[in-house]
A and B are shown apart, each in its own frame.
Chain A
């Protein structure tokens, strides 16, 4: 089973939930953890894996053979991302704008385009003391395109783990969709604030399209924020956990400790969470 942890708003507690869930589940199952927040990966700070292997991550960008190119401009037309321009007697490629979709190569009527791999980051693989198979992607600073790295990271999913946890980037754009694509369950972490609610709505919009079964975790709970409760009730989204707002939790996380490590009283809640997800999956 693949569980993705996402939120929309940044800083709501995705990594806190994902890492404690992984550590709790690892007691009974082989677990694989993917940190897909490749622009700012931080799960390794909590899980402390020993890194055993790394590999380069690439995006395939077009290269145009000027001898074969007839300057028809078809590649420029089909590029949604404006990574190509026809300027005078040449087609110019802007590699940093390229999403690696391959449309230009497919559409070129004279096969003047070949693709070559451009390195944009690295993947790291390791194991934690709980025996979690850990992997993370890291986008090189100044590179704008995270999705190819997430795809390459997810290509390493295999059956050796019975439970895979994907820690998603914040936001509700391409990198999040790439992360949650094909997940069996989506844990949406939110907080009782207007920002938390706004971004939760965006995530629910994505869920509506993907049809992924989902549940919500309310972090920093304690303030009664009626609009959030109302939305969850209206849309019948189950609230699977409420983590209270406590200064001591923030302090423990800031020093790199797992929630379930510094506050063992939360362990049963994470065991329950796994059971609840199993139950909800059974209902589908």
Chain B
């Protein structure tokens, strides 16, 4: 399964980004193969519509779940419509690899 984690940088041990739509990077992680890939997000450069544009990126990349800090109202609506599970964490306290470990240990719960 493909999950996305919002990140401040392009490495697997990057600090997570607390913002979803305007996260500078996403780490695309395959839970079956443990393969990962950094994808640059255009959200920070947009004047508006960052949440929607980022959700379109995740949708096109086949994401089934996304771990981030805060999801805006448009992002929530788009992700729900696309059937992508949202998981909010205290992103300032976590790196991407830590978030992946917590996710795989079942420590994270999906947002309502």
Q: For residue B54, which residue of chain A has the nearest CB?
A: A82
The stretch from A17-25, A83-91, A182-190 touching chain B is A83-91
Which B residues form the contact surface with A (CB < 8 A)? 46, 48-50, 52-53, 55-56, 59, 74, 77-78, 81-83
Most buried by B among A83, A85, A92, A96: A85
Task: Identify which of B49, B55, B82 contacts A97 (C-beta below 8 A).
Answer: B49
Bound CA span A52–B53, Å: 44
Task: For A245, list chain B residues within 8 Å (CB).
Answer: none
Task: For B49, list chain A residues within 8 Å (CB).
Answer: 81-83, 94, 97
Bound CA span A94–B48, Å: 11
Bound CA span A85–B83, Å: 13
Least CB distance from A245 to B in Å reads 35
Task: For A81, list chain B residues within 8 Å (CB).
Answer: 48-49
A11 adjacent to chain B (CB < 8 Å): no
B82 touching A87 by the CB < 8 A rule?
A: yes
For A96-124 the 0/1 string (1 means CB < 8 A from B) is: 11000000000000000000000000000
Which A residues form the contact surface with B (CB < 8 A)? 76, 81-88, 90, 92, 94, 96-97, 144
Least CB distance from B52 to A in Å reads 4
Task: Identify which of B52, B77, B83 contacts A82 (C-beta below 8 A).
Answer: B52
Tell me what chain B mostly uses at the interface: helix, strand, loop, or mixed: helix
Task: For B48, list chain A residues within 8 Å (CB).
Answer: 81-82, 97, 144
Least CB distance from A7 to B in Å reads 21
Bound CA span A97–B52, Å: 9
| Sample (16) of A-B pairs whose CB atoms are under 8 Å apart | A76-B56, A82-B48, A82-B52, A85-B82, A86-B59, A87-B78, A87-B81, A88-B59, A90-B81, A92-B77, A92-B78, A94-B52, A94-B77, A94-B78, A97-B49, A97-B52
Bound CA span A81–B49, Å: 6
Q: For residue B58, which residue of chain A has the nearest CB?
A: A87
